[in-house]
Structure 1
Amino acid sequence: MEFWSAITANFLIAFPALFSIVNPLGGALIYSQITIGRPVSERTWLAWRVAFYSAIVMLVSLLIGATLMSFFGVSIDALRVAGGTVVAVSGWRMLYNPQETEDRKQDHATADKAHAWGSDVAFFPLTMPFTTGPGTISVAIALSATRPTSPVAELLPFYAGVCGAALAIALLVGICYAYAERVVDLLGPARTRILTRLSAFLLLCIGVQVLLTGVQGALEHVIALKH
């Protein structure tokens, strides 16, 4: 019972954080604009390729992000402080200026219109940096920094929860992009912007929590050294 509770708890932390920064609903509005005029079958195929690549980007960042930072001598507490700060700042910017983030995404995506669609635009620019760019990678690494440092038994539910959240976000990306026109008709820009601000506030809170956890761990380490 505790095992499944731990998975659920980690999922509920990772899912809103990734949802806020990826924003598949807002992305669907832009996706519908930059793929307009393409056959429905091609738009759907492209949407699910973007979802697949997005899952890979998030999973790799979650699984090896913190380990890679540790390899370069960055402690877990330092990573939590830095990652929490980045996530909190991203949430703050999205909360007070969500249009800037969406405009930046649209610029990245529409820049490829001059190129032939025969190339693999599913990865660049539609996955990187449009859907899962540096912000998403930073959030994923910050989440990976919150992994337990002791028993292996605690690592399994942690990774099951956060990786499950990443797969759920990728699934949402595929659904929202594949049915982008319906998402536009259902929500529209105004409701999407409201949802973006609500999720941005949640992202800000998660970033602050990760930051506080890192500061607390660093202070405990300093106190232990003094004694």
Structure 2
Amino acid sequence: MWLFSSAINSFLIALPALFSIVNPIGIALIYHQVTAGNTRAERSALAWRVAAYSLGVMLVSLWVGATLIGFFGVSLAALRIAGGLVVAVKAWEMLSAPEQSEGRKQEQASNATGSSADAFFPLTMPLTTGPGTISVAIALSANRPKDTLDIIPYLSGMSVAAMAVALLIGFFYASADRVVLLLGQAGSRVVTRMSAFLLLCIGVQICLTGMQEALIPLIPARFMPSNV
């Protein structure tokens, strides 16, 4: 039962974080511009290919990212603090200036022609799952529990969250024309700002967890609460 609970908790943490940084609803508008000359069937097939590649990027970052960085001697607490700060800064940029974020995304997709050859670059990387998504995934991975028995359900829950986000990427990209009609640019920015605020809270929480882990060993035992 506790394994299932751990997986659910990690899923509930990872899903909003990954969804917020990927922002498939907002990026669907750019995807629609890039694939405007394609037929609906071609856009749909390309969308699900991008979703599959994006899933691969997220899973690799979640499962291996923190371990690779730890290999270079970076402590888990330091990784959590740095990862939380990166996530919070990225979220603040999205929250305060969504227009700049959209401009960068459009520039990244400017060389895409909408063909299947563009599925990985630039439509998957860096448009959909770029450095920001990788940073968030590594930060989430760094927030994993210390107990080895808890790591598998934690990462499993996050993997399911990554799969859910990939499905949303495929759905919104394949339905990009409908998203444009329904939301438009203004509606997309509202969704972006709401997602960015949630992402900011998650980044701060990850950072606080790392700071707590780093500072507790430095506090004398007599000053520690009895329940810590």
Distance 1:17 1:10 in 2: 11
**Corresponding residue of 2:134:** 137
CA-to-aligned-CA distance 1:150-197 (integer Å, 9 cap, x gap)? 1x3211220111111111001100000011101111222212111110
* The one of 145, 149, 158 aligned to 1:148: 145
Structure 1 residue 224: Cα displacement: 7.1
Distance 1:85 1:224 in 2: 27
Distance 2:63 2:41 in 1: 33
CA-to-aligned-CA distance 1:104-154 (integer Å, 9 cap, x gap)? 1111011234xx936x2100000000000000000000000011111x321
The one-letter amino acid of 2:198's match is L
**Corresponding residue of 1:125:** 122
Distance 2:111 2:182 in 1: 27
SS in 1 for 2:36: coil
Structure 1 residue 45: Cα displacement: 1.0
* The one of 174, 182, 200 aligned to 2:170: 174
Gaps of 5+ in 2: 222-228
Distance 2:35 2:217 in 1: 52
* TM-score when normalising by structure 1: 0.93
| Residues 1:202 and 2:198 aligned together | yes
Q: Contact between 2:15 and 2:165, CA under 8 Å: does it hold in 1?
A: yes
Distance 1:207 1:32 in 2: 30
How many residues are paired up? 222
**Corresponding residue of 1:5:** 5
Q: Contact between 2:34 and 2:112, CA under 8 Å: does it hold in 1?
A: no
Q: Contact between 2:112 and 2:123, CA under 8 Å: does it hold in 1?
A: no
**Residues 50, 221 of structure 1: CA spacing in aligned structure 2 closer, same or farther, 3 A cutoff?**
same
Calculate the aligned-residue CA RMSD, in Å. Answer: 1.7
* TM-score when normalising by structure 2: 0.93
| Residues 1:73 and 2:73 aligned together | yes
**Corresponding residue of 1:43:** 43
The one-letter amino acid of 2:182's match is L
CA-to-aligned-CA distance 1:42-100 (integer Å, 9 cap, x gap)? 11111011000000000000000110011011110000010000000011110110111
**Identical counterparts, % of pairs:** 60
SS in 1 for 2:109: helix
| Residues 1:97 and 2:94 aligned together | no
CA-to-aligned-CA distance 1:30-50 (integer Å, 9 cap, x gap)? 101111011222111110110
